[in-house]
Structure 1
Amino acid sequence: MSGMNSDQLHRSTLGIYSSLINEFNPGLQKLVSLGNSYIQAFKTLATTSDAYFSALSKVGERAFHTASSRSIGDVLIQVSESQRRLILELEGVFRSFSLEVLDSMEKNVRLDRDYLLGSRETYEMQLRSQAAALERLRRRPSQGGSEYVDFLRESHNQALQEEERRYRFLAEKHCGLIESFTKFMNKNGVSLQQKAAAWTEEVDATRRPEAHRPATLDNIVSSEESVIVSVCACYMFIQVGMREEEIRRSRDEMPLGKIPSRAPSPQGSIFRFGADSAGGGGGGGGGRVMKARVAHQPAGSNPTLLAFNRGQIINVLVQQPRNGWLFGRADNSSRQGWFPASFVEAVDDPPVSPAPRGTNPFATVKLKPTSTNDRSAPRLYRR
């Protein structure tokens, strides 16, 4: 810029102000509009995703209560819950984008036009004053010409700084946005990959090789030997069938854990719990829906006890009380455990679980990229 003459400096300064007023600020306003559309599109995605994985979770619930696909149902439920948590955390990133980027751009572009117009007007007024002074001092061109050119250079440098400050603001805001997305991906990517591998392995484990029939006996054996072989074959089939049944029962049996000692009564009162209150029947659980009369929040970290809140729906899996305890699973959760039989009551019509808004605005722009803690960002509410 040192090689520019006074006329070039003047034209360049006016060009910078005109570019910021007529191009940069309108472009910033367009970014705000597109950003709002981006957020609205994500809201639609989040709503559709929630509906989809809620439906998948219900299918998993049905599979969980079958005799053949309990483990597969549990995987489907876990996949659904994992996707819901993922969308919730991603909502935090978009909430940050709205507050930290779009709102800042909209506020600055609203204030910046008046500031730039005033700055250009001030420059033109000072230029006229300097030109008049130069005209009065035309008999001393070395002194007057130097002051005039120095003024043009200083004004030009100030315009360049204003231009740089605005582009730096835009870059810093979007570097912060990328940092938020990077943190989100680093936090969830590896964990989700490990879960997916475990789920795949669990589903693959349900594939069972088909039983092979024994080879057909040769026709050359005598009738007496055929009878003996037939009896032995029948006995073998019976033994194989009994063994397969034993294996199936062992696989399908729920890990109940150690049965707790005598169960407490709610609120310290004595409550007699009849077997029919929990649906009666054997201890192997066809599944009965109950409702929590009071909250059960066991102290400590006993993994065999089931915690729930008052009014929560409980799926009872072991219907016959043992020492005053039942075994079951809280609604919309894959965790199972023991809980006091007296803490729940039968319901005839269980409810459906719910599917899990002029100064220089750029003068104080920080030079370091901003960062966002997406974990603490408030939830972005949907319409």
Structure 2
Amino acid sequence: MSRIPEDVNKLTESTYKNVMEQFNPGLRNLVNLGKSYEKAVMAMTFAGKVYFDAVSKIGENAAVSPVSRELGVVLMEISEVHKKAQLELEETFKRFHRELITELERKTDMDIKYMNATFKRYQSEHKLKQDFLDKSQADLKKLRRKSQGKHSSKYEIKENECVETISSRQTDMQRFIAEGCKEALLEEKRRFCFLVEKHCAFTYQLTAFHDKAKEMLTVTLPSWQDKCTDASRVPDTVITMIEGLQTPMSVIPEYSPTLEHSDRTNSGSIVPPPAPSLKAHTSPLASMFSQDLITATKYISLDGNGLSRSESVSSGMDMAKKTRVQTIFPHTAGNNETLLGFEDGDIITLLIQEERDGWLYGELEHTGQ
């Protein structure tokens, strides 16, 4: 028998062994790695969701700012779009698990049994045919030894029959080896085609995800970028508000009903000292006499009968309750006659109960100023 059929047979056996010893174990490894890949992606999308939830939270805080409201809205929109993209990625990998990993796992389990049975059947049939061929060749050799030196036609007929049998069995063996090799190679190719086909399908799905994610992320990207191109720009509404605060305001003290009563009962007409005509600002006295500080300091509310009458403006308050406060730090009026100087612990009688344009009006008890 020529060596060509034997070489083909070796190729057939090596092909079966390659599928069983290399390809199928490789598929098992792919299944395990694919599951790890899927878990890693799911962990990434979960971390991404947590991250963009935090981005959205920051956006919510910025949305209440008059100057950063638009940027806060942009942050919330960016967060929402990214989370949608993460959900699309999760759906893509659910298909990856369902259509690729699960199929590979099922295919591998079935194929191991199938390839083992197919290879054993090929080896058994090959051995059986080889045994028949070897027996026919042995019979021919035996017959020729018997017929040596003899010219009987009987041996010639038997020898021809053996040669025909050997030839037939050799042809059958060659055909079997050729068909077996072709089948083995096709079995191998079908498995690689299956693997390529599944990954092509996954590639299409991944491409579709990237296209969709790109569309979602880029459709509003220019408008997002426009909102942050100039960090020094202030919205018109805020500018209007600031300009309104910068406009000088004249402070006109209002008279209380008790002061009007005082005007009617006293011959002199005394009005509270005018506030400075400068731009309105918060006086340190106003801060000291703010509601919070009044609560923290010691003050006493008495009726008019509990205080000695004075020729000052405070005499008009004897019909109403007056508030006395004790100072908690000294203040020097300097040359400004509209301000009241006092020492720490002095008692001041308030002429009005609430601030007016950031100022309080009162009378220093021990000097009558």
Q: Shorter chain as normaliser: what TM range? A: 0.5 to 0.7
Q: Give the structure with the higher percent helix.
A: 2
- Compare CA radii of gyration and give the structure with the larger one: 2
Q: Which residue of 1 aligns with 2:342?
A: none
5 Å matches for 1:193-208? 193-204=218-229, 207-208=232-233
Of 163, 172, 177, the match for 1:147: 172
Q: What is the rounded CA distance, in whole Å, between the counterparts of 1:4 and 1:195 in structure 2?
A: 71
5 Å matches for 1:120-269? 120-138=119-137, 139=162, 140=164, 141-204=166-229, 207-208=232-233, 244-245=239-240
Secondary structure of the 2:116 match is: helix
Q: Which residue of 2 aligns with 1:15?
A: 14
Is the Cα contact below 8 Å between 1:25 and 1:113 reproduced in 2? yes
Q: Which residue of 2 aligns with 1:112?
A: 111
Is the Cα contact below 8 Å between 1:53 and 1:84 reproduced in 2? yes
Q: Which residue of 1 aligns with 2:331?
A: none
AA in 2 matched with 1:13: T
AA in 2 matched with 1:164: K
Is the Cα contact below 8 Å between 1:9 and 1:152 reproduced in 2? yes
CA deviation vs aligned residue, 1:152-203 (integer Å, no higher than 9, x gap):
1001100001000111111111111110011111222134123222101122
Q: Which residue of 1 aligns with 2:88?
A: 89
AA in 2 matched with 1:65: V
Q: Which residue of 2 aligns with 1:284?
A: none
Secondary structure of the 1:204 match is: coil
Structure 1 pair 62–110 and aligned structure 2 pair: CA distance change class (3 A): same
CA deviation vs aligned residue, 1:269-288 (integer Å, no higher than 9, x gap):
xxxxxxxxxxxxxxxxxxxx
CA deviation vs aligned residue, 1:19-62 (integer Å, no higher than 9, x gap):
11111111111111111111111121111111111111111001
Is the Cα contact below 8 Å between 1:97 and 1:177 reproduced in 2? yes
Is the Cα contact below 8 Å between 1:71 and 1:203 reproduced in 2? no
Secondary structure of the 1:18 match is: helix
Secondary structure of the 1:68 match is: coil
Structure 1 pair 189–29 and aligned structure 2 pair: CA distance change class (3 A): same
Residue 111 (structure 1) shift: 1.4
CA deviation vs aligned residue, 1:116-169 (integer Å, no higher than 9, x gap):
110011111111221233245442233221111011100110000100011111
Structure 1 pair 123–243 and aligned structure 2 pair: CA distance change class (3 A): closer
Q: What is the rounded CA distance, in whole Å, between the counterparts of 1:47 and 1:72 in structure 2?
A: 25
Structure 1 pair 242–161 and aligned structure 2 pair: CA distance change class (3 A): closer
Residue 209 (structure 1) shift: 7.8
Secondary structure of the 2:220 match is: helix
Once structures 1 and 2 are overlaid, which stretch shifts more, 63-72 or 136-145?
136-145
Secondary structure of the 1:67 match is: coil
Structure 2 residue runs without a partner (length 5+): 138-161, 245-369
Count of residues in Structure 1 that have an aligned counterpart in Structure 2: 217
Structure 1 pair 43–191 and aligned structure 2 pair: CA distance change class (3 A): closer
Is the Cα contact below 8 Å between 1:13 and 1:156 reproduced in 2? yes
Kindly indicate whether structure 1 or structure 2 has the higher relative contact order, using CA contacts under 8 Å at least 6 residues apart. Answer: 1
Q: What is the rounded CA distance, in whole Å, between the counterparts of 2:242 and 2:66 in structure 1?
A: 13
Structure 1 residue runs without a partner (length 5+): 211-240, 250-383
Structure 1 pair 77–161 and aligned structure 2 pair: CA distance change class (3 A): same
Quote the RMSD (CA, aligned, Å). Answer: 2.6
CA deviation vs aligned residue, 1:223-279 (integer Å, no higher than 9, x gap):
xxxxxxxxxxxxxxxxxx999416999xxxxxxxxxxxxxxxxxxxxxxxxxxxxxx
Q: What is the rounded CA distance, in whole Å, between the counterparts of 2:238 and 2:61 in structure 1?
A: 28
Structure 1 pair 243–120 and aligned structure 2 pair: CA distance change class (3 A): closer
CA deviation vs aligned residue, 1:310-341 (integer Å, no higher than 9, x gap):
xxxxxxxxxxxxxxxxxxxxxxxxxxxxxxxx
AA in 1 matched with 2:201: G
| TM-score computed with the length of structure 1 as normaliser | 0.53
Is the Cα contact below 8 Å between 2:81 and 2:216 reproduced in 1? no
Q: Which residue of 1 aligns with 2:5?
A: 6
Structure 1 pair 78–248 and aligned structure 2 pair: CA distance change class (3 A): farther
CA deviation vs aligned residue, 1:47-92 (integer Å, no higher than 9, x gap):
1111111111111001101122110100000001011100000001
AA in 1 matched with 2:22: E
Structure 1 pair 64–152 and aligned structure 2 pair: CA distance change class (3 A): same
Is the Cα contact below 8 Å between 2:58 and 2:72 reproduced in 1? yes
4+ runs deviating over 6 angstroms: 246-249
Q: Which residue of 2 aligns with 1:298?
A: none
Structure 1 pair 151–242 and aligned structure 2 pair: CA distance change class (3 A): closer
Residue 112 (structure 1) shift: 1.1
Is the Cα contact below 8 Å between 2:89 and 2:209 reproduced in 1? yes
